[in-house]
């Protein structure tokens, strides 16, 4: 099965937050035997060049209203500096539909604030950069009792992560997509987390 992963791209996108993830999805180098690499499709509100926080320029493949998602797909929402602005309402509307239809949505850093502002974190376990900051900038947020002080949290088909946890974010997404064997995923995470050679040999073995 070839997973389609839709990556939302936006000006000021925190490109490093999805770097581990996109490299593994696109290459498929550690995937299960016979598993094709995932297809990454970049999406935005308009087909105009966006500039990431790192200065990279990306031309989106599709606009938000040009595609639909199926149960095996995933929507990745990276961080950025504009997530509380109205410009992101279309993608947040799509994220809400995905959550309702049990399609994987994974948000990190500022994107979790967008979900909170849209009321999508009020009744399910989640995390973000900081609870007090979330309360301060997202008036519609009332999900304090569900907040978990963890690098990343998976609740069904919704993954949320702190902006300083791109590795944990990637691990949660790869696990949810079920594209790496469990021992391979453990070795992959162990290698990048600890830099110990034993994990490299376990990963390559």
Whether the CA torsion 151, 7, 146, 178 is positive or negative: it is negative
Q: Which residues contact 55 (CB under 8 A, 6 or more apart)?
A: none
CA distance 60 to 64: 10
Query: Among the options 30, 98, 109, 138, which is catalytic?
Result: 109
Would you state the structure tokens that stand for residue 115, as one six-digit string?
Answer: 């979900």
Q: Which residue has the tokens 């500039």?
A: 51
Beta-bridge partner residues of 126: 147
**Ramachandran region of residue 141, left (φ > 0), alpha (ψ -120 to 50) or beta?**
beta
Longest dimension (CA), the chain: 50
Token couple for 47: 């087909």
Active site residue 109: yes
Q: Which of the residues are catalytic?
A: 109
């Amino acid at each position: 099965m070839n997973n389609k992963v839709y990556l939302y791209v936006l000006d000021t996108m925190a490109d490093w937050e999805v770097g581990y993830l996109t490299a593994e999805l696109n290459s498929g180098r550690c995937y299960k035997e016979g598993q094709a690499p995932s297809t990454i499709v970049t999406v935005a509100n308009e087909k105009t060049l966006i500039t990431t926080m790192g200065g990279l320029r990306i031309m989106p493949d599709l606009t938000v209203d040009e595609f639909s998602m199926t149960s095996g797909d995933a929507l990745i929402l990276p961080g950025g500096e504009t997530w509380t602005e109205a410009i992101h309402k279309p993608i947040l509307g799509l994220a809400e539909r995905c959550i309702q239809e049990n399609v994987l949505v994974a948000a990190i850093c500022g994107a979790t604030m967008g979900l909170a502002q849209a009321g999508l974190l009020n009744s399910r376990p989640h995390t973000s950069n900081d609870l007090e900051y979330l309360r301060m900038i997202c008036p519609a947020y009332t999900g304090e009792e569900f907040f978990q002080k963890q690098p990343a949290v998976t609740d069904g088909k919704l993954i949320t992560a702190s902006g300083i946890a791109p590795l944990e974010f990637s691990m949660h997404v790869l696990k949810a997509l079920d594209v790496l064997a469990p021992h391979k995923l453990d070795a992959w995470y162990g290698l990048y987390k600890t830099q110990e050679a034993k994990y490299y040999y376990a990963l390559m073995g």
